[in-house]
Structure 1
Amino acid sequence: MATKLFVTSEGLQQADEKQAHWMLRATAHFLSYLFHPVFVPLYVIAFLLFTEPFLFVGASPQEKVLTLGRAFINYTFFPLISVLLLKGLGLIGSIKLQDRKDRIIPFIICNIWYFWIWYVWRGLPGAPQFLIVFALSVFLASSIGLLANIYLKISMHGIAMGTATSFLCLLSLDASAPNLTIYLAAAILLTGLVGTSRLLLGEHSPGEYYWGLAASALAVFIASLVA
Structure 2
Amino acid sequence: MQKSISYIFHPVLMPLVGVLFYFSKSPRYIPLPIIKDKLIAISILTILLPILGILLLKTLGRISSIELKQTKDRVLPLFIYCGIILIVLKRVLTAYEFIELYYFFVGMLASTLSCLMLVLLKYKASIHMIAISGVFMFFIGLSIHFSINILGSIALVIFLMGLIATSRLSLKAHSTAELIIGCAVGIIPQLILIPHWL
TM-score range, shorter chain: over 0.9
Aligned pairs for 1:7-156 within 5 A: 26=1, 28-50=2-24, 52-54=25-27, 57-121=28-92, 123=94, 125=96, 127-149=97-119, 150-156=121-127
**Superposed displacement of residue 53, structure 1:** 3.3
- Residues 37-61 of structure 1: CA distance to partner in whole angstroms, max 9, x if unpaired? 11111112112223x233xx22121
- Residues 91-116 of structure 1: CA distance to partner in whole angstroms, max 9, x if unpaired? 00011100111001100000100121
Q: Distance in 2 between matches of 1:79 and 1:34?
A: 16
Instruction: Report the number of matched residues.
Output: 196
Q: Which has the higher contact order (CA 8 A, sep 6+)?
A: 2
**Superposed displacement of residue 36, structure 1:** 0.4
1:182 is matched with 152
1:121 and 1:132 in contact (8 A); partners too: no
2:15 and 2:46 in contact (8 A); partners too: yes
For 2:6, the aligned partner's letter is S
For 1:158, the aligned partner's letter is M
Q: Distance in 2 between matches of 1:225 and 1:133?
A: 10
- Residues 3-50 of structure 1: CA distance to partner in whole angstroms, max 9, x if unpaired? xxxxxxxxxxxxxxxxxxxxxxx1x11211011011111112112223
Q: Distance in 2 between matches of 1:137 and 1:146?
A: 14
Whichever structure has more helix as a proportion of its residues is 2
Q: Distance in 2 between matches of 1:147 and 1:90?
A: 23
Of residues 196-205 and 165-174 in structure 1, the stretch that sits farther from structure 2 once superposed is 165-174
Q: Distance in 2 between matches of 1:123 and 1:183?
A: 26
Which TM-score applies when normalising by structure 1?
Answer: 0.81
Percent identity over paired residues: 28
For 1:53, the aligned partner's letter is S
Q: Distance in 2 between matches of 1:81 and 1:177?
A: 39
1:199 is matched with 169
Which TM-score applies when normalising by structure 2?
Answer: 0.93
Q: Distance in 2 between matches of 1:61 and 1:151?
A: 45
For 2:26, the aligned partner's letter is P
Q: Distance in 1 between matches of 2:144 and 2:95?
A: 25
Q: Distance in 1 between matches of 2:93 and 2:193?
A: 12
Q: Distance in 2 between matches of 1:157 and 1:104?
A: 16
Structure 2 CA distance for partners of 1:64 and 1:225, relative to 1, 3 Å: same
Structure 1 residue ranges, 4+ long, deviating more than 3 angstroms after superposition: 121-125
2:3 and 2:167 in contact (8 A); partners too: yes
Whichever structure has more strand as a proportion of its residues is 1
**Superposed displacement of residue 76, structure 1:** 0.7
Q: Distance in 2 between matches of 1:100 and 1:181?
A: 36
**Superposed displacement of residue 119, structure 1:** 2.3
